[in-house]
Structure 1
C-alpha cells in the first residue's frame, strides 16, 4: 500500500488461493475474475481508503453498505490454468483510489480503479472502475419498517416464481455454451422462475477454505445471482416454443444460445454492497429490465434468511462476449496526436512579425482570388464523401433524413451516404456486408465508404449508457479489423467522436 497526495494505491500479485478459486469460473475456456469479484474489490477498496480517517483498528466501515455508481468492467482479468505446472505467473493487481476535487479520503465521492498486468505485459491496464458515492454505517433497510417491506417483497416474488428449474440441466447447458462453473461457483441450490424474474437460494459449497471468509461479499454468491439470468432468458425463449417444451425451461438454454452467445457482466449504473457471512444462506431476486440483440439488463437484490437486503444492483448490463480471439487495437487506429512546439517570449516577437507579413500576403492573395470567376472556387471545393454514420440520436437521424439530399451534400455527405441511429448497428456478417461488398472474383471485396463515423460518444446519458456505447464502438472496430484480413484495399478512415478532451 502507498499513500500519495491525491490517491491511495494497493498493489500485489493475485494470491494463489484466489487463482485456484477462479479455476471454477471458466468463460470460453479461460479462467476469469467474475464481475462479482470486481464489485467486491471496488467496495472493499473504497471502505479501506475511508478507514484512513479513523483511529487505527477502527472497524467503523468494515460492515457498512458501500454505494457505487458508474461501474464499468473494461476488460477480462484472466488467470492461467494450473500456474504451478505451466510456469505461468499469476497476474499482478493494482487498486487505486483517487479522491475527487471536492472531497478527501475521509468521505466519498472517490473513484476506484482496478488495473492488472499479466506475465509478458509491459504496463498495467485498467480492467474495472467505479465511483464510491457514499458509505452507510447501517444497511439502508435496517429499520423495522424497511425490514418488513423487504420481507414482503421477497415473499411476493416467491409466490410469482413457481416453475422450478432442473439445476443439473441448468449448469450442464451453461457449460455447453462456454460458461463452465466448477463446484465452488455452482452456488444456486434452488431456482424458481417466473415471467421476467427469478428467485434463487444461494449457498457456498461445504468445502469453503479459510481465506474465502475474507471477502466482503463472496463473489461466488453474487455471481450465482447473475447466473439465474440465463434461466429468465430461457423462459422467455421457451414462450415461443410448444407447451410441452415450456414445462422444461432449463432444457431450452441451448435454444437461447443457438448462436453461441455468451452473456457476461459489462457494468452497472448503481450498486449497493454490504458485507455478509460467507456461510450464510442467501436469497436472490432478479428482474429482467431489457432484452435486445446485444444482451440484457437486469435489476437484482440479495437478502439474508430474515429477508433483509444485503446487496442491490440497478441496471446490471450483460453483453455478448465474442468467441473470436481479441485483437490488440493500436491507439493510432482510434486517434492521432499532433504536437505543436510551445513558443518562448523571445520567439513570440519574431513570430508576430512573421504573422503580420503573412497576413499582408494573405490579403493580397484574397483580393486576387476574389477577382477570379466563381466556378474556379467551386472547382477547388472538395466533393462530398460517401459516409457511413453510426450511433446518432434518432432525432438527429430524422432531421438529416428530412433535410433533403442537397442539404446533406452541403454537410459533405454524398447522396449514397447511410445514416444509422444508436441501437441500429447490425451484428456479425450483416455488419461486414454493410462495410464492404464483393465486386467480382478479380477485385474481391471492396469497401463501400470513403469514411466511417461513430457518434455514440456524443449521446446524453439518458439516451444511452456508457456500456452500450462502448459495446457498439468495439463491435464496429472488431468488424473493421476482421475485414482488414479479407479486403486488399486500404481501409477508409474511421472516426469515433467523443465529447471532452483526450489526455495524451
Structure 2
C-alpha cells in the first residue's frame, strides 16, 4: 500500500512511475535483515582483480578490487547509475553498448549525458536483426569492428564501393495534378492535394476533390510506417482546414481518423472532402478515398469559424529548459517502424522542461510549402519531438495520431516552426507553434494517439467481404500488475483512491432499457471523476441481447474516450486472473468462453460450399428481362 501511495504521489506530480515486478526491495532498508548472512556467504568466495576497467554502480567510479564487503554494500546501497555514466563520459567515453534483454538502460543513459547509447537487444523484436542493427550503429559511429569474427563460417567477402558519390538528379517528367476545371463549370481548389471545388445546390454542402499518388506528391514516399506508405494524419488535418476555409469555417473543432489511407506505389488515390450544411454555427467534414466502386471514410469532424487564440510571448530557447540530443531520434524511430524519408526528417533541435518538450523543425530546402495551409510534413515533424520526452509510456508500441481537437491555423506557408508540446492526459498532447519571429502559426488543444500494428496497415483488395470472428488472444508473457478493485453494484462514486482498474458487473434486471440507462450514468460518473483519469473501467456483460445493448453503449464510450473502458463479454463469472489477463492484452473488448480469453478480429468472409448454386440438366431457371417482358 505504501508503494502504491508513492506511485500515485509521483504520478500526481506529472512524473513517470511504475511499480516494479521484483522479488525483493533491493537497495533499501528492507534488505538489512539478510546482510550479515549474505556477508558470510560472499566471504567464502575467491576474488580476482578485474581484467577490464569496471565502473561500479556502488561508488560511481572505477573499482580496483572486489571483496565480500563490496557485494554486501551492493545489495543495500543506492544504485548510482547516473554517477557511473557521468564518470565514463568525463573519462572520454562517447558510445555505450547495452548488453541485456531490452533498451531500458540506454533510455536512462540518454537522460544523463550526451552520448550514443545502443541496446544490443530489444524486447519483442527479432534478436539477430536487433544485434546486427546495434553493430551497424556502432560501426556508423566510428567503432572499429572485427568483421571476421562476425562473418566467421559464413563465406563473407568484401566488395569495392564506387570511388565517387552516386548522382541524385531526377529526370522523370512531373505529371500535372490539375487541368482547366473551370471549363467543366467547377472552381479550381488551388491546393497541391485538391483540384476542384463543387458547391451543391439547395443542400448547402460543398465537395472538394483531388487525385494523388506518390508520383504527383513525391513527399508521400517519405512517410513509411510499419512497411506501408501511409497518408499522414497531418494530411487529413490539412484537407479539413482547406475545406473549412472554403466555407468560412477555418477552425477544426474536432477530427477523428477512422481508417488509415495506405498508398501503393502504382496507385492513384481519388480524394473527396465533403463539407455539410451549416447547423448551429458548425459544419461537418468527412474525408473519403475511392476504392473500386465504393468509398472508404477516413476521417470525420466538425468545423467552426476561426477563433482568437492568445499565445504567450515566451523566451527562446525556453527559460529553464535543458537541451536534448536529437541525432538518434530517427534511427530509433526506424527501429519502431517509422521509416521517415528526407521530407519528414525536419527535427533540428529540442529541449525539455519537466514533462514539456520544445523543438525547432523545418522543411528541407527543396520542399514546396506554397499552396498548403501548413505542409503536412512540417506538422508531422513537429510531433516527432514526442519521442524525446516522457509524454507516452516507453512500451515499444508504434503510435499514430487519431483524434484532433481544437486546431487553429493562424498563418499559412510556414517552413520553420518553434514548437511547444505538453501532456494533455492519457495518450494525448497539446501543441502550440510559432514561426522564428514568434508569430503564431498553429494551435492544437488536444491530440490523442493510438497504438497500431503492421496488420492494421496492410492493403487488401476492396472487393473482399469481412466478418467479425472471436479468436484466441495472442500469447504473451506480459503481466498486468496494477491495482484491481470491484465496484459495489453501480456505485462508481463509492470507490476509494485511484485504482488502476475497476470492475463493474452489468446489471440484468430484465429491463434492457433500464439497465442501459443505469450503466450510462455509471460511465458518466467514471469519466467525470478526476480520480480515475488514468484508470480503466472493466464492464463485464453477459451474452444475451439485453447485455449486448450495454456492450454497445460502452463501446461508444470507449471510442469517444480511448483507453478508459474495457468490455468483457462472458458466459460465466470471470475470476480476477482472467480479468488481469484481459487488461494485459491491451484490447478494448474481449470475450470469455469456457474459461478461455478471446479477442475480436476481422476475417475474410468465405461463402459456404453449399451456398453456391449448382445448375444441372433438370434444373429450373427463371429468366427475367431476357425476352423483353414476362
Shorter chain as denominator, the TM-score bin is 0.5 to 0.7
Question: What's the secondary structure of 2:305's corresponding residue?
Answer: strand
User: SS of the counterpart of 2:247?
Assistant: helix
- Map of 1:5-404 to 2, 5 A cutoff? 5-6=202-203, 7-14=205-212, 16-17=214-215, 19-50=217-248, 66-81=250-265, 83=266, 89-102=267-280, 108-118=281-291, 121-135=292-306, 140=308, 150-152=312-314, 155=316, 158-165=318-325, 167-209=326-368, 212-233=369-390, 256-258=394-396, 261-279=397-415, 281-291=416-426, 296-325=427-456, 397-398=490-491
The answer to whether the 8 A contact 1:27-1:180 is kept is yes
Higher Rg of the two aligned structures: 2
How big is the shift at 1:458? 4.1
Cα distance between partner residues in 1 of 2:247 and 2:544: 50
CA RMSD of superposed structures (Å): 4.3
**Contact residue 371 and residue 413 of structure 2 kept, 8 A:** no
- C-alpha distance in 1 between matches for 2:488 and 2:206: 44
Deviation of 1:170 (Å): 0.7
Structure number with greater CO (CA < 8 Å, separation at least 6) is 1
Q: 1:175 to 1:332 in 2, by over 3 A?
A: closer
User: Any idea what SS the aligned residue of 2:377 has?
Assistant: helix
TM score, norm. by length of structure 1: 0.57
Displacement of 1:483 after TM fit? 10
Alpha-carbon shift at residue 457 of structure 1 (Å): 6.1
Which segments of 5 or more consecutive residues in structure 1 lack a partner in the other structure? 51-60, 84-88, 103-107, 238-255, 335-392, 414-418, 436-447, 486-504
Q: Cα 1:267–1:164, aligned 2, differ >3 Å: closer, same or farther?
A: same
Contact 1:150 1:308 in 2 (8 A): no
Q: 1 or 2, which has the higher helix percentage?
A: 1
Of 317-326 and 448-457, more deviation after overlay is shown by 448-457
Aligned pair count reads: 334
Unaligned runs of 5+ in 2: 1-196, 470-485, 496-503, 513-518, 527-534, 568-586, 592-597, 605-630
Partner Cα distance (2:231, 2:412) in 1: 20
SS at match of 1:21: helix
Structure 2 vs 1, CA of residues 130 and 400 (structure 1 numbering), >3 Å: closer, same or farther?
A: closer
**Residue 15 (structure 1) shift:** 5.1
Contact 1:19 1:79 in 2 (8 A): no
In structure 2, do the counterparts of structure 1 residues 218 and 331 end up closer, same or farther at CA, with 3 Å as the change threshold?
same
Judging changes above 3 Å, is the alpha-carbon distance between structure 1 residues 465 and 70 closer, same or farther for their aligned structure 2 residues?
farther
Describe the superposition over 1:446-483 as per-residue Cα deviations: whole angstroms up to 9, x where unpaired: xx96677474764799x877252899688438964449
| CA distance in 2 between partners of 1:10 and 1:400 (Å) | 48
Aligned-residue offset at 1:322: 2.6
